[in-house]
């Protein structure tokens, strides 16, 4: 699936085809117009893939980081060429039809980076991501192209006034509906929750994926744990540009780094930090592109021995910027390595092993309580629970912190879309002991597998967080918490069992036994299936239509490329 990488003896393997020889004079003429000199044609070309835009605070500063990465590559002897790809703001599109494009954007980002790097003949490249889908999209392109490359995380936002963040706003909306929050207070929260550039400030999907990618070995040490606006982040970007030139000279490619053991390190780290369920979807997709076998059951196997150690939002107390203040991710990785929970011999983009990178890392301060010790874990095993049963024969993913309990039984209250469900939560239709079912929101059915932060935020804001459960073939924002089950496969749109649930059916979710069961006989389900017809597709022409035709199951990472 990937190209043969640089062998260390020809750092200009790709760019020489574009710029060397008499016949390439037209190419050189074009490049002179964008700043190339005679000397530059003899240098390795380093692409700088920037996800800068003013679409979202997550990415509004990345143009500066791209310039820093270019400067680092140039100073190390390469010739940097900057280019842009897209981003979609999950936080802005959440709860609207536009959210259907969020997961789709992961594929567009991967495709566009692959397209530019391969077309222009870059010998290596840096990718810089901010909002949620940027990161896996960048890594998917890195794996496909298999050219020396480094990922840079745009960094976390600071917490707003009174330690608020974007989830505070979503939950305040539910608080207004319950009468616990005034509209004046909602406006105050809205005005103060987002103070500037950077990705959402808890261990939501962006910070989760940044942590996972650092553990994979594709970013420089602590790239995942730096404030978006900081000298550390600017230096990280410069160093990444220089690191790619070093990787070129040493002939180190993503395929040398992205081993099965590296993905196990990423899973371990996601669990230890209490990360987002989206990590399951994205790690499966990234492994697919890297040609590494990874499946849902690997999360269960690894999760049985890895505790949740970081007390981070959404279910915990602290923000990512507060973890940064005590040392970031590196001390936690060293704790995991010393407990024999990481593979220390995995190669990284520093050119050294993970263990070598961690050798001189200092421990966290003794008086901090953000990261717990192994003798006092937040949860003794993983919060990411893969469930099976007659509602999810191919698997589902739950995020169970333990605070909401380990099992839930209730009566189904069924909705055919996120919007229908949100209205029912806000108007009081949803009540205690309901198991909310939101279906036809999967990769194909949505299409696009929307995140359900609006419903889960409303549930928490109305004080129903420990009184209802929610199950969906869609997915959840990293900011969602409560008793929630997503990624149900097969999805309802292709005739999965979720399509057959009716109001009032009893559903049991058991995190201990890892099951999700519908208390309806096989004979009754057979009758319902015979009467079921697939809903009309609402994808329309263009991007969503193409996506719906190509996308795989969530249990396979919802990828659109084929093996």
Give dist(CA 392, CA 390) in Å, integer.
6
Q: Is 77 helix (H, G, I), strand (E, B) or coil?
A: coil
Active-site pick, 477, 480, 552, 553:
477
The 10 Å Cβ neighbour count of residue 432 is 10
Our measurement of the distance from residue 538's CA atom to the centroid of its chain's CA atoms, rounded to an integer in Å, reads: 26
Name 156's bridge partners: 199, 227
Q: Which residues contact 305 (CB under 8 A, 6 or more apart)?
A: 341, 381
Q: Which residues contact 40 (CB under 8 A, 6 or more apart)?
A: 31, 79
Give dist(CA 312, CA 218) in Å, integer.
23
Give dist(CA 138, CA 505) in Å, integer.
42
Which contiguous run of DSSP H or E holds residue 45? Answer: strand 45-50
Alpha-carbon distances, residue 469 vs 6, 112, 408 (angstroms): 51, 38, 7
The 10 Å Cβ neighbour count of residue 240 is 27
Task: Render 410-435 in DSSP notation, one character per residue.
Answer: EEEEEESSHHHHHHHHHTT-S-TTEE
Our measurement of the distance from residue 245's CA atom to the centroid of its chain's CA atoms, rounded to an integer in Å, reads: 27
* 480 has catalytic annotation: no
Residue 258: both structure tokens together: 């992205």
Name 398's bridge partners: 385, 485
Give dist(CA 292, CA 254) in Å, integer.
12
Give dist(CA 52, CA 236) in Å, integer.
17
End-to-end Cα separation, the chain, in angstroms: 7
**Pick from 517, 450, 510, 462: which is nearest to 486 by CA?**
450
Residue 98: both structure tokens together: 């536009």
**Cis preceding linkage at 314, omega within 30:** yes
Give dist(CA 360, CA 356) in Å, integer.
8
Q: Half-sphere exposure (CA, 13 Å, Cβ side) for 96? A: 10
Strands 515-518, 506-510: pairing kind: antiparallel
Q: What is the DSSP letter of 451?
A: B
Burial of 416 (0-12, 13-18, 19+ CB in 10 A): middle
Catalytic positions: 477
């Amino acid at each position: 699936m990937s190209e043969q990488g640089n062998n260390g003896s020809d750092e200009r393997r790709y760019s020489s085809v574009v710029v060397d020889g008499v016949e390439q004079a037209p190419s050189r003429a074009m490049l002179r117009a964008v700043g190339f000199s005679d000397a530059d044609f003899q240098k390795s070309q380093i692409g700088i893939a920037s996800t800068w835009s003013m679409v979202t605070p997550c990415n509004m500063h990345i143009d500066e980081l791209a310039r820093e990465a270019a400067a680092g590559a140039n100073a190390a002897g390469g010739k940097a060429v900057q280019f842009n790809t897209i981003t979609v703001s999950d936080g802005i599109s959440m709860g609207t039809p536009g959210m259907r494009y969020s997961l789709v954007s992961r594929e567009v980002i991967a495709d566009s980076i692959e397209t530019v790097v391969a077309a222009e003949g870059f010998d290596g490249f840096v990718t810089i991501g901010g909002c949620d889908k940027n990161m896996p999209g960048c890594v998917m392109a890195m794996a496909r192209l298999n050219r020396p490359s480094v990922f840079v995380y745009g960094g976390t936002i600071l917490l707003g006034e009174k330690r608020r963040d974007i989830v505070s706003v979503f939950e305040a909306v539910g608080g207004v509906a319950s009468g616990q929050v005034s509209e004046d207070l909602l406006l105050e929260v809205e005005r103060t929750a987002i103070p500037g550039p950077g990705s959402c400030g808890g261990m939501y999907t962006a910070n989760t994926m940044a942590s996972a990618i650092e553990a994979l070995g594709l970013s420089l040490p602590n790239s995942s744990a730096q404030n978006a606006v900081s000298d550390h982040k600017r230096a990280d970007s410069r160093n990444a540009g220089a690191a790619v030139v070093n990787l070129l000279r040493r002939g180190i490619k993503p395929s040398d780094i992205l081993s099965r053991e590296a993905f196990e390190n990423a899973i371990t780290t996601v669990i230890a930090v209490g990360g987002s369920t989206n990590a399951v979807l994205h790690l499966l997709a990234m492994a697919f592109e890297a040609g590494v076998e990874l499946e849902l059951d690997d999360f269960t196997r690894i999760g049985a021995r890895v505790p949740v150690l970081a007390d981070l939002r959404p279910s915990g107390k602290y923000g990512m910027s507060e973890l940064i203040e005590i040392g970031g991710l590196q001390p936690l990785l060293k704790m995991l390595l010393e407990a024999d929970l990481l593979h220390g011999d995995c190669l990284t983009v520093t050119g050294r092993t993970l263990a070598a990178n961690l050798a001189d890392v200092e421990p966290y301060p003794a008086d901090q309580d953000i990261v717990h010790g192994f003798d006092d874990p937040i949860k003794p095993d993983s919060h990411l629970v893969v469930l099976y049963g007659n509602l999810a024969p191919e698997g589902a993913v739950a995020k169970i912190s333990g605070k909401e309990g380990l099992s839930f039984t209730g009566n189904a209250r069924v909705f055919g879309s996120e919007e229908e469900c949100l209205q029912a939560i806000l108007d009081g239709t949803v009540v205690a002991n309901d198991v909310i079912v939101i279906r036809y929101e999967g990769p194909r059915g949505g299409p696009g597998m929307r995140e359900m932060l609006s419903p889960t935020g409303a549930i928490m804001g109305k004080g129903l967080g420990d009184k209802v459960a929610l199950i969906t073939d869609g997915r959840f924002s990293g900011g969602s918490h409560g008793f929630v089950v997503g990624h149900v496969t097969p999805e309802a749109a292709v005739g999965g069992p979720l399509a057959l649930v009716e109001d009032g059916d009893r559903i049991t979710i058991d995190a201990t036994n890892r099951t999700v069961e519908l208390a309806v006989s096989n004979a009754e389900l057979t009758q319902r299936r015979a009467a079921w017809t697939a809903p009309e597709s609402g994808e329309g022409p263009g991007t969503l239509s193409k996506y719906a035709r190509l996308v795989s199951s969530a249990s396979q990472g919802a990828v659109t490329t084929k093996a």
